[in-house]
Each structure stands twice: as structure tokens, then as C-alpha cells.
Amino acid sequence: MIEINHHHRQPHTPATREFTPAVKAELEAIAARYPRREAALLPALRLLEREYGCVDEPGMIHVAKLVGVSPSKVYGVFTFYTHYRRPSDGKYSIQVCSTLTCALKGSEQVFDHLSQKLGIGKDGTTPDRMFTLKKVECLGNCDQGPCMQINDDFVDAVTPAGCDKLVDEMRNAKDEFHPPPQKYHLPPNKYAPVMIKHALEDGSDTLAHYRNRGGYETARSIIHGAKTPDEVIEIVFASGLRGRGGAGFSTGQKWKFLAKNDKPRYLVINADESEPGTFKDKLLIDRDPHGLIEGIILAAYAIKAQHSYIYIRGEFAFGAKMLQKAVDEAYAAGLLGKGVMGSQMEIHVTVHRGAGAYICGEETGLISSLEGGRGHPKIKPPFPAVEGAWGCPTIVNNVETLFTLPYILKNGADWFRSFGTAKSPGTKLFSISGHVLRPGNYELPLGVPLKELIYDIAGGIPNGKKLKAVCPGGSSSPFLTADEVLADGDKLIRLDFESLQAAGSMLGSGAIVVMDETTCMVDVCWNILRFYAHESCGQCTPCREGTGWIAKMAGRFEKGGGDASEIDMLDEVAWSMVGRTICVLADAAAMPARSIVKKWRSEFEAHAAGHACPLQHHKPPKHNKSGHQAGHQHA
Amino acid sequence: MPKIKVDGQELEVAPGRKLLDVLEEHGTHVPHFCWHPGLKPHGNCRMCLVKVNNSRKLEVSCMYPCTDNLEVTTKGPEIEAARKTVMEFLLINHPLDCPICDKAGECMLQDHTYKYRHGLSRFHEDKVIKETKDLGPTVRIWGNRCISCTRCIRFTDDVVGTGELSLVNRGDHGMADVHPDVPLDNPMSLNVVDICPVGALIDKSFLFQARVWFTERIETTCTSCSRGCNVTATMHKGEVKRLQPRRNDDVNGFWMCDAGRLDIEWLKSPARLRTARGGAKDVADQLRSAAGRVGIILSTSATLEEMFLAKQLATAVNGRIGFVSLDQGTRWVSKSGFAIETDKTANRRGAATLFGKNLGFEDVTAGIHSGDLTHLVVINAIPNLAWPEDIRDATKKVSWLAVADVLESDLSTRAAVVIPSAAWAEKDGTIVNRDGRVQRLRRLHDAPGAAVSDASWLQEVLVHLGARKTVVSAEGVFREAFPGMDYGKVGNMGSALPAIATDVPANTVQK
């Protein structure tokens, strides 16, 4: 189904929208939590969605007036994010994840099945306005792939037969249908977990449960003077904790970079977990939100931030609910707010939902989004620690990083350093998915050999298949061949920052995607490039144009339309994107693509020679001359 | 003051300035798209890459602050290669429809393509297709041509402050756009067309009007209000096709308003006066006979030269002189401080210089009502002026009426002598803006029919009256009025108002 006009209006959309006084009051309360009113824009669009079922044009005009920005700003913001409900969306928006792991697990077949069953294509809506079918990018639930979301609810391990059942249930539901809640699992792990050992216990998300296991005691003692803020910073610095979001920068050092001026300071928690293959923060958010809040209290105390904002990706609606519940509990118990735990401290936490944009995981893109804008990364310097949210010194820390703090501050820097390696101390969560027997989250000391995780801990490759490739640190990391992964001695690859860097890749977010011998690497290349083309914010020329170009080229190769002489060109174009842009999304697209072109060049050659995918993953198109698939289609 | 080195040459710069600003001023051209001297820098096009202190990465010069001892390299194989890739990227989804694009010939993308890129495109995929549509009453967008530089967006956000434009969609689907129900319709909207570095934003009034390489450009001054924005007229086959602002930081910065820009429409109006009834000799004869009973009403849009000659005429026939003006609306000021004045006449300040602060016409009309004045000469350059009732009544009472005007009116119908006047675009002259700056009007094209400049027929009348020897050019009159000055000294950007000749040299009429 081709939509020529993106802006068509629903038949019964009124010319104007107006919130009830109660909703307006709700918006005022939201706006009061930010230093600038525009920051209430993304939440206000959520209110529109809730009140009217979608974000429509008159609604945007109303919100523009309430938030104090121009209607076009709202329109620009709305069209930047993919997760808001469009006026064209049916009652159930079925969003099938199409990114790396889910694709390896057969999400394309799931999508095709749904498409056939519902009689609609990508972004199509059934005539009864019951279903809209979407292909979406990584939902951060990779160990359960192929996964999808029905509106805000996750559905794990979807099969074509399962789809039939779901569709029937939705059709027959008297009220609104919700799939059963997600089941969490932690596979057995010979390295006894420290931080996530309670995550699966009943009620682990409640304040009572957290307190029963000694929760908030570290924060209480420190806030009451056991450590000064500077001492906390020194301990964290001494622990060698490195950011768990992907860059691996020293957390203590980052805190030390804070500009010393009269401006307020902000702590922003990056819960925009969206690096393909990564699903670790989701576990912490859903199952142990108080652990995160205690970490926030400690960090806020250390850096003297009165207000912290948890920026959680839009797709994690359940996670946002869990966080909000935990934050409310903490406020009610005097753990947050004015006079935290009976002290003179004032610490506020606001849960801020994103709306579907990978780039908001980049810290300056996140700040732009938090401020109420499109998630455009900002030019650095100035770094956020000097000029961040609302122009004030800001620390952006990943969920897992903050989650680690209570453990470090309770047990000391030396205790933390007793795990891991000298330069990569501590334990870290690793999300492993793809072709392994036991995908899931594993808390491991840094430095465990990658092959030990794959073959021993996660059970190896199923069905007696051989390993072909590993993406060791999220899809932005250069891919490794089986030979590299299996090497010993000097070449042994360990799961720490240095070892993976030495191997020409990176630890990133600790997301390991395993691909067996049946995997077509050209298809993989196309898959991840589609992701980056879809997620490029579009500011910088090389990224905006380059990501789309190389994605289309890879797609053409996969469908048999490539020529061997173009393989070098794909690599060259990717290379010309590197280091030329405001943020590193362009590099994140180019580096893994280049690694695949370099290491599996023969597969590109085979595609070109046979004018088709040798593994028949994608048949050549019948009519489309170039065979490219639109990377994305925004409403 | 920090010292920086640009390609080996040392420069002193004010601290905190951005590198590209300094390079542009210094005359070191660094190609760019998103940077514009009148807008906040944004750093998105990645074209202005330079090497700084031999760093590993190239830096965008538009965002790079000048600090002491900075060493900048703007040339070299690495930089040229980087520019080439940016050009290649910019062109892959661009439609390359120069043959049907109005920007062709004055397009930065086209120019930079010639200069910084060569060879064939390596892009063999389908291009992204975006919309072509009206953004509002004045501007149309070709989404396919948009390179997301955000100049237009920064203009509406930071200069105008109305924010009608935003970048919409994401990645290579992004383009500048309005909210579907809220058009781009601010009073300065058309500036976005000038600053668009490609042909995405097109002035609907100029659409398909002329290929710019067949046009001629003439620098002149806008007369639609007392600000006097410096403009460039694009001329084609003897017509003004458009006006565009010309940078003058003391007057209009980089901008002009839409009303001024579209002030060319009426020049071609069928209501223009084209034929004369009577002439300078008739005027001279009548005024000679009525000396002492003559009223003259002049518009404050008249040029300094015309005002000076009208004053000579008043002296020669012992007449009274009065002024008609036009004030409209309330003063509109943009977020950045650009103002559109309520005084819709170009030279009220000039009139005040020559005639003093009291610029009413009541002295003249009172004289007519009392019977003291019997002859009236009306000289008007304000188009579509709603004549004050008092003047209308007076024109009915006088025994003889001469009207020099640009457009027909009930006054011209009634007049014994009608002189079709050349409009602002059809004559040379000078006007003084509200801040006292003398600026030049240049003759852009012929006046319609028998229309003549007021300065020339006024001189003819004075010659007939024996009050002048010869008819000279507008500049000749200017030199008489302002001894020691000439148009060269006024220049293209205007100058402070010089001292007027103290005595208006004119002889009294010899009976």
C-alpha cells in the first residue's frame, strides 16, 4: 500500500482539539518538573495520544499553544519520532521487530505471514481499522526474538501460528486485548551474579523487597554524612567504573569534568537502550527499579544535582510504568523529594519517555530530545558536563552504570576491582542473542573470554551448526569471524574494553549477537545498514545521505543486483562517512559494514556472480529494477 | 587579541569568534552551505571542513572558536577529498533538475558542484522522493531539492521569531516544512528564498519568470517604507522581475520585507498614467499668471531632487508648499529587531530636512478654502494613495489644477494639466531614510508611455519661468542642492545626510 499523502485526516477528526481542564492541569504539573516549558512537548504528545487515540494535526496545534512553541516545531518533533500513534493507525498497531537478532530468528517470515493474513503491507491498515502492520527497528528484547509489540505490549518468541492465535484473540476481544505479560528469565550462570541475583524474585520491583535486601541503606548512610560528595566521586573514580552504555568512559572522570559554576546541575539517566542486540537495562528497569533509583540518589548527591531525569525509550512503556511506580513509592517513603531520608538534601527524579529514535541514546541527542526537540545531537565541545541540558552542566549516565553505584559504594573500590581486569574492572551485564542455545543476560566479570560465553556459558550454537560471525558489542561494533572468536593465546578475545579494541572491534554495550553458518552476511550487512539509515537524524550530510546509500547498495547486493566491481565502492562510501559528522552514528554504521565487506567479501562476490543470494534469503525482485527497499517510511 | 594563522598567514581576531566568520571576512573562501553570516551557525552541511592545528579529524570551521595560536589549513588533498565526498553525498538524492529549476545560475549547490566535484555519480539506487507544495502564499518548496541545511528554519526561528518552519521527518527523508495547517506567511517570508542555498524554496512571484543568466542586476533602494532597505533588482527584458535585499548592516542587515519586495507589482498596472494633458509650458504659464496664489502639494515619497526643485518652484511663484504622506498599520519588529515602518513613504526625513518638521498640507488647503490660493499643483509618487477628503475638496475648489501622479485617480481625471510621473523604478534620485541616511534610487527601466520624472518636468517649468537656465540630470540637481556632494559619494550603501545648500538659488518670476 502506497501512501502518497502523509497528512490525510481521519474522517471524523475535528478541526480543533482542546484538552479538558483536568488534562491541562496534568500537563501543567508535568511542565513544572522541567526548567523550560518546551520540555513538556514529548509528554504532551503522549497526552494527546491517550486522550484522542493518536497525535493528529489539530492536536499538535493545541499542544503547541499549551507548551509555547510554534505548530511547526511540534510537527517537526512528531515526525522525528516513530512511536507516536498516527491518525492512520488501526486499533492494534502490530510492530514486528526487523533488526538483527529478530531477523536471524525469522521475524521476516512472521511479518510476511501477518501481512498475508491481514491483507495489508508495511504501514498498511485493514479496512475495518482494526490492524496496522509495521516493521520496526530493534525493540531491545533480542533474547526473546523474534519479538513484536501490539501497541505498547511486548510479545515474545512470535511464530506464524502464534500470530494466527493473537490475531483471532484481538478480533474476538470484547474490550481491548492485551497479550499476557512478559516472562523474565535468567539463564544459569557459573559466575555468580552480584547485581542481578534478585531480579527474578517475586516482588523484586517493589520498595519492600528492595529494602528487605538492604536497599537504600548505602544511600542513607552516605547522605547522612558518611561520605562527602567529593569522596563519593573519588571512590567511583578509584573503582575504575567505566560507562556501561557503550563508550566505556570512566564514570568518575566524567563527573570530574563538571563545570564549576553557579548554574544548576542535572543528572540524566540514559534508559534509551536501543543499540541492536542490547536488552540489559530493560531487565534492571522492569525488575529492579529501586536499584536504579538508589544509584541515582548516590550520583545526584555526588554531583550535587537537584533534579534527575530518566530518559526511557518510548517502546519501553512497561518499563516507564515500573519506573514511575518505583519513583512514586520512593517519594512516598521520603527517599526522594525535599529532605531526602531526613537530610537537608533535595533530590527529584522525573521519568521522561522518549518516542522511538535510536539517536536519543547518544547523550547530546538525548538532551535535545529531553529539552522537547528533535533528537539532534549537538556539536561537542562543549561537552554536556560543561553545557548540557538547558545549557547547564549535565551528567548523562547509563542505567547499568548507575545501578552499579550502590554496590561500589557499599563494598568499596577495591571490592569492585576484585572483579574484571585492571583497566576494565567490575562485573557487567552481557546480552547475548542470536544463534546460541541459551540467549539472555549474563552478569560476568569483565575479561571472560568471548568464546567461553558463547560456547560454555550460553550453551554454544544450536543444532550442531558452526559459528560464522559474532557482533561483540551491539550492531555498531565491527563484526568478528569465527576464526577470530575461536583464536587462542595472544589472539584470545576477552570481553573487556581493551581486548576487543585490540581485536579491531569494541565492547560497546556488551551486546553479543551470534550468527551461525547458515547466516547470509550480505543480508546481515543490509539489515544493520537499514537500521542506521532509518535512525540517522538527518542533520549531517555524510550520515543523512551515506547511511541510506550504503543500505540501498547492500540491499541490491542481497537481491542479486550488485556487481563485484561495486564491493570496493561500498567500502569507500562507508569510509567517507567516518569522522565527518556531529555524532558517531555515521561511524557506527560504517565500521561494522566495512568489517563485513572486508571479512566476508566472498559472499558479496557470490551474490554478484549468481545474481541472487546463494542462501536464497531474498529472491530477486520481479519489477523493482534496483531492488532497494525503502529504508523507512515516516508517517 | 588572539592571533591565528590561516594557510601560513597571520591574522588578529576578536576572541570567541567562529573561524569561518573570520575566514570569510579575510577573503579566504571556504565553501559552505548551512553557514550564513546573518544566521546562527549550525554545522550540519559539513562542507566547511578545515584542518586545525594538524588535528587528526577535520573540523567544521563555522562552529570552531578562534583561540590564540590556532593554525588553520584550508587547502590540501585531504580537505579537497572531504569536500568532494560531501558534494557527492549532497547530490545523490538531489533531483539534478537544474534545467527546470529557477535557482539554476545562482545556486550554491550548482556552483560548488562545478568547483569542488568532478566526474560521474557513483549512485545507482533509487532516489528518495519528497513533496513539492506551497508552504504559504509566497513560497513553494521542492522537497527533493532540499538539503536540510536549516537556514530557512533558523531564519524563521531566530530572525523573524514566528517559527513556521521546521525540519520534518528523519534521515534522508528530512526536509524543511510547515505544519500542514499553519502556512509560512510572516511579513519577511520571502527571505527564505534568498538564503536557500539550493532551489528548494522558490519565490512564487519569480517562478518561471526568467533564467537568471539572462538577467541584469541593478542596485537600488526600496521605497515602500521609510527604512529604505538596500535592494538589488533583477531585470529582464526591461522589467523588474524581483527585488532582493542587499546587505547593509546600518539599514536592513541581510533582509527585506515581503511588502517591499512585491512593491514592483503596481509598476505594470493598467492604472498607470501614460498620457499627458498639457505640459510644462502650460504649468509655467498658469503659475506665472497666478504668482502669489499658488499651492503645491508634494508627497513625502518624492526624491530629494524633486523636493528641492519643488521648493525652487514655490519660491519662484511665491507659492505655499504642503505635503501628503501615508502611515499604515503598526510598526512591526521581528525577533532580531528588523522593523517595517508605519511611514510608507520613502523620504519624509528628506522633506523634514528641506522644509522643517511641519509637513502637513493644511496650510495649502486652508489657503484654497479661504480663497487666497486659486491654483494647485499636486505631485504624488505614492501608489494608490487614499486622498484625504480635505485635499479632494480643495482640488474641486481651485480654478486650476495640475496633477503629476503615477496612477490614475479622481484628481487626475479632474485636472486641467496631467503629467504622468515616472515611478521609483523609472528614475534616478536620492531619498533619506528614517535614520537620516541618503540612499540612491536608480532608474531600472523606462517609464510607461509619456511618463517623465518629476525632476525633469519641474525643471522644464522652472526654465519656462526663467527661474533656471537649463534642465540637468537628477545628479546635477543633487549637486546643486548639496554642494560638494555627488552620487559617487553617496555610494551603493548610502551615506550620512550632508548639509543642504543654505539658499535655494532661484530667481523670482519676471512678469
B89 touches chain A (CB under 8 A): yes
**Would you state the pLDDT for residue A91?**
95
CB contact at 8 A, A604 and A487:
no
CATH number of A521-610: 1.20.1440.230
CA-based torsion, B207, B212, B215, B218: positive or negative: positive
Q: Where are the alpha helices (DSSP H) in A173-278?
A: 207-212, 217-221, 229-239, 251-256
Domain boundaries, chain A: 21-80, 92-172, 207-417, 427-516, 521-610
**Any idea which fold A207-417 has?**
Rossmann fold (3.40.50)
Q: Give B25 to chain A, closest Cα distance, Å.
A: 24
**Could you tell me the CA-to-CA distances from A307 to A67, A104, A300, A310 in Å, in that order?**
21, 41, 8, 10
Residue whose C-alpha is closest to residue A426's, from A410, A442, A447, A441: A447
**Would you state the pLDDT for residue A623?**
45
Per residue in A242-262, pLDDT tens? 999 999 999 999 999 999 999
Burial of A466 by CB count in 10 Å (0-12 exposed, 13-18 middle, 19+ buried)?
exposed
- Under DSSP, is residue B474 helix (H, G, I), strand (E, B) or coil? helix
What is the pTM assigned to this prediction?
0.94
- ipTM surpasses 0.85: yes
Q: What DSSP string runs through A209-228?
A: HHHHTTTTHHHHHIIIIIS-
Among A533, A569, A581, whose Cβ lies nearest the Cβ of B122?
A569
Residue whose C-alpha is closest to residue A480's, from A500, A465, A495, A496: A500
Cα distance between residue A352 and residue A281, in whole Å: 16
- Under DSSP, is residue A260 helix (H, G, I), strand (E, B) or coil? coil
Q: Check A534 against B170: CB less than 8 A apart.
A: yes
- Under DSSP, is residue B10 helix (H, G, I), strand (E, B) or coil? strand
Is the pLDDT at A502 greater than 90, yes or no?
yes
Residue range B3-75 in CATH 3.10.20.740: yes
**Would you state the pLDDT for residue A629?**
42
CB contact at 8 A, A519 and A468:
yes
How many CB atoms sit inside 10 A of residue B428's CB?
20
**Would you state the pLDDT for residue A274?**
95
Q: Check B122 against A73: CB less than 8 A apart.
A: no
Is the pLDDT at A209 greater than 90, yes or no?
yes
**Would you state the pLDDT for residue B489?**
94
Architecture of the structural domain at B280-496:
3-Layer(aba) Sandwich (3.40)
Question: Which residues on B lie below 8 Å from A58 (Cβ)?
Answer: 181
Strand A467-471 versus strand A511-516 pairing type: antiparallel
| The residue type at B298 | L
Asked, as a colleague might, if the bond just before A382 is cis with ω within 30 of 0, I would say yes
Cα distance between residue A283 and residue A441, in whole Å: 8
Tally the C-alpha atoms within 13 A of residue B3's C-alpha that lie toward its C-beta.
Answer: 4
Q: Which CATH class is domain B96-108+118-268?
A: alpha beta
* Cα B71 → chain centroid: 40
State which residue of chain B sits closest to A566, comparing Cα positions: B122
List, edge to edge, every strand of the sheet that includes B139-142.
B132-134, B139-142, B201-203
Q: Where are the alpha helices (DSSP H) in B59-107?
A: 77-92
Question: Which residues on A lie below 8 Å from B85 (Cβ)?
Answer: 542, 576, 580
**Would you state the pLDDT for residue B15?**
83
**Would you state the pLDDT for residue A615?**
86
Cα distance between residue A504 and residue A516, in whole Å: 21
Q: Check B179 against A541: CB less than 8 A apart.
A: no
Cβ contacts below 8 Å, chain A against chain B, sum to 147
Domain boundaries, chain B: 3-75, 96-108+118-268, 280-496
Per residue in A517-558, pLDDT tens? 999 999 999 999 999 999 999 999 999 999 999 999 999 999
Cα distance between residue A430 and residue A444, in whole Å: 7
**Could you tell me the CA-to-CA distances from B453 to A189, B309, B426 in Å, in that order?**
96, 12, 8
| Distant-in-sequence, close-in-space partners of A364: CB < 8 Å, separation ≥ 6 | A377, A378, A380, A384, A388, A583
CB contact at 8 A, B475 and B285:
no
**Mean pLDDT within A3-14:** 49
Q: Check B46 against A631: CB less than 8 A apart.
A: no
- Matching residue, cell 504622506: B325
Give strand pairing partners of B227: none
Cα distance between residue A277 and residue B260, in whole Å: 58
**Would you state the pLDDT for residue A4?**
38
* Cα A129 → chain centroid: 30
| Best to test chain A binding among B91, B153, B164, B179 (most A CBs inside 10 Å) | B179
| Distant-in-sequence, close-in-space partners of B428: CB < 8 Å, separation ≥ 6 | B440, B441, B442, B443, B453, B473, B474, B475, B487
Q: Check B86 against A542: CB less than 8 A apart.
A: yes
Residue whose C-alpha is closest to residue B401's, from B382, B379, B383: B379
Is the pLDDT at A168 greater than 60, yes or no?
yes
Among A6-15, A173-182, B76-85, B377-386, which stretch is predicted with the lowest mean pLDDT?
Answer: A6-15
Query: Which of residues A331 and B357 earns the better pLDDT score?
Result: A331
Per residue in A395-406, pLDDT tens? 999 999 999 999
Among B44, B88, B170, whose Cβ lies nearest the Cβ of A540?
B44
Tally the C-alpha atoms within 13 A of residue B269's C-alpha that lie toward its C-beta.
Answer: 15
B90 touches chain A (CB under 8 A): yes
Per residue in A481-494, pLDDT tens? 999 999 999 999 99
- Under DSSP, is residue A442 helix (H, G, I), strand (E, B) or coil? strand
Rounded to the nearest 5 degrees, what angle is found at the Cα of A290, between the Cα atoms of A287 and A296? Answer: 125
Superfamily name with CATH number, domain A92-172:
Glutaredoxin (3.40.30.10)
Per residue in A38-89, pLDDT tens? 999 999 999 999 999 999 999 999 999 999 999 999 999 999 999 999 999 9
**Would you state the pLDDT for residue A191?**
95
Among B82, B125, B172, whose Cβ lies nearest the Cβ of A553?
B125
Give strand pairing partners of B210: none
Give strand pairing partners of B495: B438
Question: Which residues on B lie below 8 Å from A631 (Cβ)?
Answer: 171-172
CB contact at 8 A, B344 and B224:
yes
Among A75, A541, A548, whose Cβ lies nearest the Cβ of B166?
A75
State which residue of chain A sits closest to B47, comparing Cα positions: A541
Give strand pairing partners of B464: none
List, edge to edge, every strand of the sheet that includes A394-398.
A337-338, A346-353, A307-312, A266-271, A394-398
Cβ burial B401-424 (10 Å sphere, 16+ → b, else e): bbbbbbbbbebbeebbbbbbbbbb
Architecture of the structural domain at A427-516:
Roll (3.10)
Q: Check B85 against A576: CB less than 8 A apart.
A: yes
**Could you tell me the CA-to-CA distances from B154 to A364, A382, A577, B216, B217 in Å, in that order?**
19, 21, 26, 30, 28
Cβ burial A382-413 (10 Å sphere, 16+ → b, else e): ebbbbbbbbebbbbbbbbbbbbbbbbbbbeeb
Question: Which residues on A lie below 8 Å from B88 (Cβ)?
Answer: 576
Q: Give B155 to chain A, closest Cα distance, Å.
A: 14
Strand A153-155 versus strand A148-150 pairing type: antiparallel
Among B60, B128, B163, whose Cβ lies nearest the Cβ of A548?
B128
Residue range A21-80 in CATH 1.10.10.1590: yes
Cα distance between residue A324 and residue A329, in whole Å: 8
| Best to test chain A binding among B109, B113, B151, B168 (most A CBs inside 10 Å) | B168
Which residues of chain B are under the pLDDT cut of 50?
A: 503-511
Cα distance between residue B506 and residue B41, in whole Å: 57
To the nearest whole number, what is the mean pLDDT of chain A? 94
**Could you tell me the CA-to-CA distances from A629 to A138, A534, A551, A571, B309 in Å, in that order?**
18, 12, 9, 20, 73
Reported residue count of chain B is 511
Per residue in A562-604, pLDDT tens? 999 999 999 999 999 999 999 999 999 999 999 999 999 999 9
Q: Check A75 against B45: CB less than 8 A apart.
A: no
B165 touches chain A (CB under 8 A): yes
Per residue in B459-506, pLDDT tens? 999 999 999 999 999 999 999 999 989 999 999 999 988 776 654 444
